[in-house]
Amino acid sequence: MAVAVAGVLVLVSGSAASVGPASRAPAHARLVPAGGDPSGEGHRDVEGRAGGAVELDGAHLTMAQMSAVFRGTSGPITLADSAAAGMTRIRGGALAALGEGQRVYGWNQALGPLKNNALTDAEQVEFQKHILRSHAAGTGPELSTGVARLALVLRANAMARGHMGVRPEMVRRMLALVNAKVTPVMPAIGSLGTGDLQPMAAAGLVLTGDGATARLDGGEPGPAGDVLARAGLSRTFELQAGEALPLISGSGVLTARYVGSVLRSEAFLDQFEGAFALFMEATRAEAGSLDARTHAERRIPAEEYEAGVLSTLTEGSEWMTEQGRARYGETAPRIQDAVSVRSTPHIAGTLRQTLGEAVAIIEREANSSTSNPLVFERSDGTHEFVMGGNYDDAQIGHAVDTLNAQVTDVAVLSHELSARLIASKWSYGLPDNLAGPPVGLNSGMVQVQTVAAALVPEMQVRAMPAGVLSRPEKFGQEDHNTMAMASERNLDDNLERAEIILAVHFLLAAQGIDSARPQMGNLALGKRTAELHARFRQHVPELGEDRWMTPDVDKAVALVTHEHLRTTPPPATPPQSVPHPR
């Protein structure tokens, strides 16, 4: 079915992805501009370009392509011939500039606090090995294969712009690893958000075959040289002058993690819509809070989108009517529901808008020169190095902090809605604790709801923006650090908590419907909420007499984390903050 929301045609499907491995790879669907191109942006493949070849030219890598690379569903990835020619030309200009005597950071000068130490011509190639070995000092859990794979592609695409001065052969070596399904083992801890130094240095050691470990097609980790050989690739690859720093001085790992978090946040929000719709049915909520006229007056397209989706999910409900409320014993008009109910389209819409803005940030970052130094052509055809701070990750770091805060806000809202369901006064008559009869002998689901309550303060603490916690390092040479990787780790951890809180929400909302059903008689739920409730009940049975609840909670968490409870197709491009049409 399709509904028009703020000039956007929203395709709504009741189909579900099957519960399987935690790949977070549901089938994609789309938002289609009314009367417009079905891809949403002309060039955007809403299916994530699954199986489609990707050609890198440094300027046209899309979120859909990055999503496919992250999920391991893209086709072969190659370097465009035009980009290779540009890289070769600029590389020649860079070497000529060095020959004319320009002193350049990371090329013929050392790094960081040692930047004033000059390197001889003979030392420059050896220096590339030392850069990778000394910077590969990270620790902690291993980043996912999706992050490692996408990070290599993002760095390759940035290099394809040519301004980093590296050879096309280096980019082709990076893509050879990706196409052969070789992924470096990259540690999560070490980066300050001022470049991805530690994790990408580990990737560089794999690229060159100089130590470190790698995986082949997701298998067990092994020495890089052995893994490369099993993949049919050369065991070694020698970097030339100036090629190690562009590999590690940039935002490839951070951006790859951000892509993964945006996809996961999108799935969380899509499933929250379904849980909220079940809540509205269980509490016989007033549908007036979804009235399109109200949300049009707020002039926030993403809010209108959310209200439209929720209206579609609850369409046809006879529970959410005066008749339904009277059937359950309400003898007077409700007047209006609580703030948590009436404001949900705005709160969810705010997160939806941020996800749309994230796509713009990611695509811009992916198609830019994020390194230091850069090489530029002068008007006379010669080239020069320019040293700056293009590796800095402040924008992504602050965007991640914002996304974390909004995911946390929606999770808190989910918890608040769950809390209403277990209280007869707040739920308009559902049994306390959602306990089966006899209530009192049966304690019901209050301790299930407490699981969510226990996670809320943890989320709130981890939603503190790390981007304001800069500290000077490296003798004051790097005296401002974005701490963006800490922001990303906080977000990933909070998404795990949010998924558990949402699973609790589903458990209680489904139980609320079952508790109310005998009294509601032949009054029908909305078609889509009935389908979602039935889908949930295929895996988690209704609670009658008290039973061991941990298995139920674990099943519900698995349904959420595997995205089995999505009710609307994930948008190819979430609504962004755009002028409201009059």
Residue 17 pLDDT: 32
**Cα 407 to Cα 265: distance, rounded to the nearest angstrom:** 7
Rounded CA separation 493/140 (Å): 14
**Low-confidence residues in the chain, pLDDT < 50:** 1-49, 570-582
Q: How many other β-carbons are positioned within 10 Å of the β-carbon of residue 348?
A: 26
Q: Which two tokens stand for residue 76?
A: 């072969």
Residue 430 pLDDT: 95
Q: How far, in Å, CA of 433 to CA of 456, rounded? A: 20
Exposed/middle/buried for residue 156 (C-beta within 10 Å: 0-12, 13-18, 19+):
buried
CA separation for the pair 468, 481 (Å, rounded): 9
The set of residues, in sequence order, having a beta carbon less than 8 Å from that of 136 and lying 6+ positions away, is 198, 201, 202, 204, 205, 211, 212
Tell me how far apart the alpha carbons of residues 323 and 421 are, in angstroms, rounded to a whole number. Answer: 21
* 3-state class (DSSP) for residue 88: helix
Helices 197-208, 145-160: axis angle to 10 degrees equals: 80
Q: Is CATH 1.20.200.10 correct for 257-371+392-468+484-561?
A: yes
For 239-276, give the DSSP string: --TT-HHHHHSSSHHHHHHHHHHHHHHHHHHHHHHHHH
Euclidean distance between CA atoms 559 and 459, whole angstroms:
21
Which pLDDT score is estimated for 310?
A: 95
> For strand 77-79 and strand 54-56, is the pairing parallel, antiparallel, or unpaired?
parallel
- Sequence spans of domains, the chain: 70-250, 257-371+392-468+484-561
Closest CA to 501 of 415, 562, 573: 415
Pairs from 99-107 (Cβ < 8 Å, separation ≥ 24): 102/384, 102/385, 104/242, 104/373, 104/385, 104/387, 105/245, 105/372, 105/373, 105/387, 106/131, 106/242, 106/244, 106/245, 106/249, 106/372, 106/373, 107/241, 107/242, 107/245, 107/373, 107/385
Domain boundaries 70-250, corresponding CATH code: 1.10.275.10
Q: What is the three-class DSSP state of 478?
A: strand
Q: Is there a common fold for 70-250 and 257-371+392-468+484-561?
A: no
Q: How many helices (H) and strands (E) does the chain have?
A: 19, 12
Comparing CA positions, the residue from 458, 512, 436 lying closest to residue 275 is 512
Whole-number pLDDT of residue 544: 95
pLDDT digits (tens, 9 = 90+) for 139-169: 999 999 999 999 999 999 999 999 999 999 9
In one-letter notation, the amino acid at residue 549 is M
Q: Give the pLDDT score at 484.
A: 81
